[in-house]
Amino acid sequence: MTLSKNDYSADPGSRPGTADTVTNPTAGTTFGEVLALRYSRRDALCGLAATGVIAALDTGFADALNGGTSPSARADGAKSQFTFAEIKHGVDETHHVAPGYSADVLIRWGAPVTADAPDFDPMKQSTAAQSKQFGYNCDFIGYFPLPRGSSASERALLAVNHEYTIPGLMFARVEGTREQVAIELAALGASIVEVRKDPRGEWQVVPHSRHGRRITAETPMRISGPAAGDHRLKTKADPTGTTVLGMLANCAGGQTPWGTYLSAEENFHGFFSGGANGLRPSRSERRYGIPGGTSRWARFDARFDIGVEPNEPNRFGWIVEIDPYDSSAMPRKRTALGRFRHEGAETILNRDGRVVVYSGDDQANEYIYRFVTNGRFDPTSPAANRDLLDSGALSVAKFAADGTLAWLPLVHGHGPLTAANGFTGQADVVIDARLAADLLGATKMDRPEDIEPDPRTGKVYAVMTRNADRRPDQVDGANPRGPNPFGHIIEIAPTDGDHAAPTARWELLIAAGNPRDPAHRAAYHPATSANGWFAAPDNIAFDPAGRLWVATDQGSTWSKSGTADGLWAIETDGAYRGYSRMFFRAPLGAEVTGPRFTPDGTTLFLSIQHPGAHGGKGFADPATHWPDFAPGMPPRPAVVAITRNDGGVIGA
C-alpha cells in the first residue's frame, strides 16, 4: 500500500502512517551510495559516471543492466518471449487487459466466504455479516490446489489478504461508532475461498464450501518461535505472551513447500495510538513509528492504546503461517522471522532441503531480510514440517560497492547484539529486528516491497518501490536516484546458487520511470515501448515458465506516469533482458496486488485494491463504481481471474 495525504478518505484517521516517512535515524550507507560506488568503478560506465546522468536508452547503462553486452546488438533477430499485444497507458473507470484475454471478477468485498454467510448489502452492514464475507482491500493471493498435493489448475483454495479499510468508501455515513469500527476489524485479515473452473472455462467461487474461512483482526492466533512467552509479549489479556487476537495490515505473503500460507503484517503501527500516560514513546516504538496514527481503534479496545497496553504492538509486525486446508487450525505468528513492516514472505526450497524466506521491510530507508530454517523440508511428513519456521537463521542484507552482498546474522550474542546494547536474548533481537539491523550496518533501501526467487534460475528479484526521502547528497556519481520517485528492481544471485550462503552477487534489472524522459534517468531494454515503462513497482510473480510479472502501486502519484497502476511482463535474461510490456491496467484509484498463476499458467489471479481511492467524494459519489457499476453500490476491491480466450498460456 502507498498512501499519501492526497488520498481520498472521509476519515483521515483511517490511514496508517505513510511508508514514505523515514523512522530510521542511523547513518548507515544508503543503497544509492553503494550503487553509485559500484557503477563508478565499472569501466563500461566511465562516461556515465563522469556525466552523472543515465539518459533514456543510454547504451552505457543498458550495458550495465545486461552484464556488459549491448542489448540492442544482442537483440538482433531475437524476439521477446511475450507475444500478447501491449495495452496503452491511461486512466479511466474500469480495467483493461491485452486483446484476446478476459479479466473476470471472481470475488469482491462483501461476497459470501463462509458456508453460512449472508449476501452483501452495503446499506445494512454488520460485524456478524462482515466476519463471514470477503474482506476489504484484497492483496496477496495464494493458490492451493485441490486436492492437496496435486497440481490442479481447475480447482483450488485461494488465500487472500485484506490489508486495510477505507471507511469513507465503505460506509454511506462515516460515524466512527463501535459497530463501524468492529466492521472494519472484521474486514481485515484474510479469506480462504474454494474456487473452480466451470465447464465453460470460467472461474467461480464454490458456494457453501466447507473450506470457506474468514480470519480477522480478532481471530485468536498462537505466537511461536523465540519471542513466544517473552515478557515483552505479555498483556493483561494474555499473561502468557503466547496468544494474540488477530493479524493486522496483511499485505503480501508467500506459500511454503508444505502447502501453508504466509501472511505478512505490514503497516501494523497505524493501529496503535495513545501514550495516555504521557510517556514519550520508547526507542523501540519510535523506530517502528509507534504510535502510528488513528485513535479510533483504541476508542473501543484499549489494547490499541500503548499507554494502557504497551506490549500489544510487540505482538504485531510478524509473519503469520496459516493452513488453508484445515479451517480449524489456529494461525501462528512465526517470530523467528523477525518483526518489521513485512511486505511479503516468498520462499524457496534450498538444494540442501532447508527452506529460505525472503522479506522486505516496506518503509523508506529500511532493510531486506532473509530467514533460513535449521531443519530440512520432508515431503513425506507434513508433521515434520509443521514448525520448521520456528528455528533458523535470520539475517539482513548489506550491499557492497563491488556487486557483492553479505547476509549479516541477526543472532543474539553475535557482534554488537548483546545485553550491553539492549539485547538480552534472541527475543529482543527478533522483536527489535530493525534496531539489531541498524547495529550491524545493514544497507538502507528504497522501500523494499516484494522479494521473490525465480524458481527456475534461483535468482532473487527484490523490488524497491521508491524513496522520495533520499536526498541528492546521499548519492553521488552515476546514481540517478536521489530522490528516487520511480523505484527499481534488483537481481540477486546467491553464491553458487546456495540460498543459505553468507554472500551473493547483485545487479540492477530495471530502473523504473520513463526511459524517454532524461530527467527520470530510467533504464530498460531499448525495445520497451512508450507504454512499457512503469513507476512504483510493488508485487511481483513468476509464471510457470519463469517469466517475471510486475504490479505497480503509485498511490496518488499516478499523474507522474499518466497511467493508472497495472501489470507488466518483464524479460529477465537473454537478448531482451530488461524489456517490459504492459498487460493489464487497473481502474481509477486502484493498485494491482497479489499476482498468482495456476500451475499450468493458463490463469492469472490479480487483486484490485482500493478502486476509487483517489478523487471522487466517497461512498455516494466515488471516482469509480468498479466493478459493479450499479446504482447505490460503492466501489469494491476484488480479485479478478485472467484467462486467454483460446485457453492458452498467459503471455505466451
Provide the binding-site residues for Ca ion, judged by CB under 5 A.
2, 251, 450, 452, 538, 541, 553
Q: Which residue, 106 or 364, has its beta carbon nearer to ligand FEO?
A: 364
Contact partner at residue 450 from ligand FEO, Ca ion, none, CB < 5 to 8 Å by partner kind:
Ca ion
What is the distance between the alpha carbons of residues 534 and 518, in angstroms, rounded to a whole number?
A: 15
To the nearest whole angstrom, how small is the minimum distance from the Cβ of residue 633 to ligand FEO? Answer: 25
Q: Which residue, 261 or 619, has its beta carbon nearer to Ca ion?
A: 261
To the nearest whole angstrom, how small is the minimum distance from the Cβ of residue 294 to ligand FEO? Answer: 17
Q: Where are the alpha helices (DSSP H) in 472-557?
A: none
What is the grid cell recorded at 398? 548489506
Contact partner at residue 438 from ligand FEO, Ca ion, none, CB < 5 to 8 Å by partner kind:
none
Q: Which residue, 7 or 343, has its beta carbon nearer to ligand FEO?
A: 343
- Nearest residue to the partner Ca ion, using Cβ: 553
To the nearest whole angstrom, how small is the minimum distance from the Cβ of residue 253 to Ca ion? Answer: 8
596 pairs with which residues across the strands? 605
- Tell me if 522 sits within 8 A of 570, measured CB to CB: no
Strand 319-322 and strand 364-366: pairing? unpaired
Is residue 193 helix, strand or coil?
strand
Residue 11 is which amino acid? D
Q: Which residue, 184 or 362, has its beta carbon nearer to ligand FEO?
A: 362
Q: Which residue, 138 or 427, has its beta carbon nearer to Ca ion?
A: 138
- Tell me if 556 sits within 8 A of 614, measured CB to CB: yes
For the chain, how are helix, strand and coil distributed in percent, rounded to 5? 20, 30, 55
Q: Is the peptide bond before 257 cis (omega within 30 degrees of 0)?
A: no
Strand 220-224 and strand 332-334: pairing? parallel
- Tell me if 446 sits within 8 A of 329, measured CB to CB: no
Residue linked to cell 473507470: 93
The contact set with ligand FEO (CB under 6 A) reads 1, 163, 251, 266, 343, 362, 449, 538
Contact partner at residue 366 from Ca ion, ligand FEO, none, CB < 5 to 8 Å by partner kind:
none
What is the distance between the alpha carbons of residues 327 and 324, in angstroms, rounded to a whole number?
A: 6
Q: Which residue, 466 or 585, has its beta carbon nearer to ligand FEO?
A: 466
CB contact set of 352 (below 8 Å; sequence gap of 6+):
376, 498, 500
Contact partner at residue 163 from Ca ion, ligand FEO, none, CB < 5 to 8 Å by partner kind:
ligand FEO
Report the residue count for the chain: 652
Q: Which residue, 2 or 347, has its beta carbon nearer to Ca ion?
A: 2
To the nearest whole angstrom, how small is the minimum distance from the Cβ of residue 343 to ligand FEO? Answer: 4
For the chain, the first-to-last Cα distance in angstroms comes to 30
Contact partner at residue 321 from ligand FEO, Ca ion, none, CB < 5 to 8 Å by partner kind:
none
Q: Which residue, 266 or 469, has its beta carbon nearer to ligand FEO?
A: 266
To the nearest whole angstrom, how small is the minimum distance from the Cβ of residue 465 to Ca ion? Answer: 5
To the nearest whole angstrom, how small is the minimum distance from the Cβ of residue 442 to ligand FEO? Answer: 18
Run of H or E residues at 461: strand 460-464
Q: Which residue, 33 or 163, has its beta carbon nearer to ligand FEO?
A: 163
Q: Which residue, 33 or 449, has its beta carbon nearer to ligand FEO?
A: 449
Q: Which residue, 120 or 268, has its beta carbon nearer to ligand FEO?
A: 268
Residue 127 is which amino acid? T
- Tell me if 458 sits within 8 A of 351, measured CB to CB: no
282-295: b (≥16 Cβ within 10 Å) or e? eebbebbbbbbbbe
To the nearest whole angstrom, how small is the minimum distance from the Cβ of residue 162 to ligand FEO? Answer: 11
To the nearest whole angstrom, how small is the minimum distance from the Cβ of residue 474 to ligand FEO? Answer: 22
Contact partner at residue 452 from ligand FEO, Ca ion, none, CB < 5 to 8 Å by partner kind:
Ca ion
What is the distance between the alpha carbons of residues 371 and 390, in angstroms, rounded to a whole number?
A: 10
- Nearest residue to the partner ligand FEO, using Cβ: 251
Contact partner at residue 573 from ligand FEO, Ca ion, none, CB < 5 to 8 Å by partner kind:
none
What is the distance between the alpha carbons of residues 264 and 251, in angstroms, rounded to a whole number?
A: 6
Indicate the burial class of 498 (C-beta count within 10 angstroms; 0-12, 13-18, 19 or more): middle
Q: Where are the alpha helices (DSSP H) in 337-486?
A: 382-385, 426-431, 433-440
Contact partner at residue 266 from ligand FEO, Ca ion, none, CB < 5 to 8 Å by partner kind:
ligand FEO
What is the grid cell recorded at 460? 532473487
To the nearest whole angstrom, how small is the minimum distance from the Cβ of residue 235 to ligand FEO? Answer: 26
To the nearest whole angstrom, how small is the minimum distance from the Cβ of residue 538 to ligand FEO? Answer: 6
To the nearest whole angstrom, how small is the minimum distance from the Cβ of residue 362 to ligand FEO? Answer: 4
